[in-house]
Amino acid sequence: MGFKQVIEEQSNKYTLVKFIFEESFTKEDFNKFLGILSMLLDIAEKSGKPFGFYIDAQKAYIAPVNAAKNLIAWKRKETPRIKSGKKLIASAIAIKSAALTKMLNTALGIAPNVSPNIITTDIDKAKNFVHGYLNQL
């Protein structure tokens, strides 16, 4: 499998999730990742406990076919849920690949974020960014 998820922190106020994308993540891995995000939104709606996530994609160097298209479709579908209340508080991506950064910037230009997000090359900066927003709850 080209990616994994880790519950980094769980409190009575929020959940912080880390996703790790390896260099060989596939279209199926990416679609599973989007499905997990939708499930996290479901859980946040039912529990009233929001979440934040960050992605360690420092080893990944190329996106699967249709990743940008699938990300845009997911964002358009889920944006109303994200906007409707405190569910997804913040997200961040640590990435080193210029090709992946370009793909993400293109996708985010077409379907902008509705919660705070950064793209960086530093995993600690990514985690601290999301954690900073969660700690404000």
Q: Residue 102: pLDDT band by 50, 70, 90 thresholds?
A: confident
Q: Mean of the per-residue pLDDT values for the chain?
A: 92
Predicted TM-score of the model (pTM): 0.92
pLDDT at 94 over 90: yes
Sheet of 3-10, strand order: 3-10, 15-21, 51-57, 88-95, 117-120
Residue 1: which pLDDT band, with cuts at 50, 70 and 90? low
The answer to whether 6 and 43 have CB atoms below 8 angstroms apart is no
Q: Which residues lie below 8 Å from residue 67, measured CB to CB, with a gap of 6+?
A: 27, 30, 103
Q: Look at residue 51 in the predicted model and tell me its pLDDT.
A: 97
> Amino acid letter at 63?
A
Domain containing 50: what range? Answer: 3-134
Tell which wins on pLDDT, 52 or 108. 52
Higher pLDDT, 77 or 84: 77
How many domains does the chain contain in total? Answer: 1
Q: How many percent of the chain have pLDDT more than 70?
A: 99
79: CATH: 3.30.750
Tens of pLDDT, residue by residue over 34-50, are 999 999 999 999 999 99
